[in-house]
Amino acid sequence: MANEELAVQAQAGDKAAISQLWNQTRGIIFMILARYYNRNPERFARCGVTMDDLEQEGFFAVLEAVEAFNSAKGWKFTSWLNYPLQNHVNAILGTRSGQVKHIPLNECSSLDEPISQESDDMTLGDSVEDQTALEAFQGAEDRTYNSQLHDTLEVCLSFLENPLERAVRGQYYENKSLKEVGRELGVSYQYAREIRNKGLRKLRGGKARRLLMEYADEIISGGACRGTGFQSWSNRGSIEETTVEYLERLGVYAAL
């Protein structure tokens, strides 16, 4: 199926289409990202960014391109990838982010250094941003991070067969008891628990595990999420403790 058809299906909520679209565009995305990397490998190295990191950003760029895609324009889907890819490369290098992924001492300057050679009146220290503005930018970044985590979890759930997905989603997204999940599936409480456990086991391996590992690292080291409960997570919100709890259930957090 053509990329453009898959993008339309993904916009309609077809999660399997997202996975197939990623597989079909992964090669060209890697080539584009490799060009970015090879233009300035020293800068990526200073920031601690590898090609694996860039490929992960490429996945998020596909999700953004799907959201922006307009079939009426008549453009190929790959044309919609250019801006999101550039945006994510800039973000991971820290040019658009409050969480700069490089070693600070590599590029430090004195706060007493003049901003320009023409004027000694204003120093770098005078231009330091106020905390209120920094918190506002950080809040926007957190919302983007949680949105990406939500979309990644949706893709991971799409790898599961229908009853497995319904059981995992019912308990952890919709906060239902296993009895309620069992009634919806037409099975006993005990069998509902078996279905849920089988779904979690499948999420512990393969593609799902690789996609979720980056989030486990981020959450453990930085605590990037805000919000309350699994219900808010399903609405594109989260908090550190519920996210770590969820990743623990998947066996991701415990493996680190």
The span from the CA of 256 to the CA of 241, in Å, is 16
* H or E stretch covering 6: helix 3-11
3-state secondary structure 79-129: HHHHHHHHHHHHHHHCCCCCCCCCCHHHHCCCCCCEEECCEEEEEHHHHCC
* H or E stretch covering 37: helix 15-39
DSSP per residue, 183-199:
HHHTS-HHHHHHHHHHH
Q: What angle do CA 118, 119, 125 make, to 5 degrees?
A: 130
Question: How would you write the pLDDT of the chain (256 residues) with one tens digit per residue?
Answer: 899 999 999 988 888 898 899 989 888 888 888 888 888 888 888 888 888 888 888 898 898 889 888 888 888 888 888 888 888 888 888 753 344 444 444 445 554 555 455 545 555 444 454 445 445 444 554 565 566 677 777 788 888 889 999 998 888 778 788 899 999 999 998 899 899 888 888 877 777 777 776 665 554 344 333 333 333 334 433 333 444 455 555 454 444 3
Tokens 């960014």, residue?
49
- Which pLDDT value is given to residue 182? 92
Q: Which residues are CB-neighbours of 116 under 8 A, at least 6 positions away? A: none
Alpha-carbon separation of residue 98 from 114, 170, 191 (angstroms)? 23, 35, 46
- Which pLDDT value is given to residue 121? 56
Could you tell me the fold of the domain covering 3-93?
A: Rna Polymerase Sigma Factor; Chain: A (1.10.1740)
- Which pLDDT value is given to residue 220? 39
**Chain-centre distance for alpha carbon 14:** 19
Domain with CATH 1.10.1740 in the chain: 3-93
| Cross-strand partners of 178 | none
- Which pLDDT value is given to residue 132? 52
- Which pLDDT value is given to residue 74? 84
- Which pLDDT value is given to residue 6? 93
- Which pLDDT value is given to residue 30? 86
Sign of CA dihedral 232, 153, 64, 98: positive
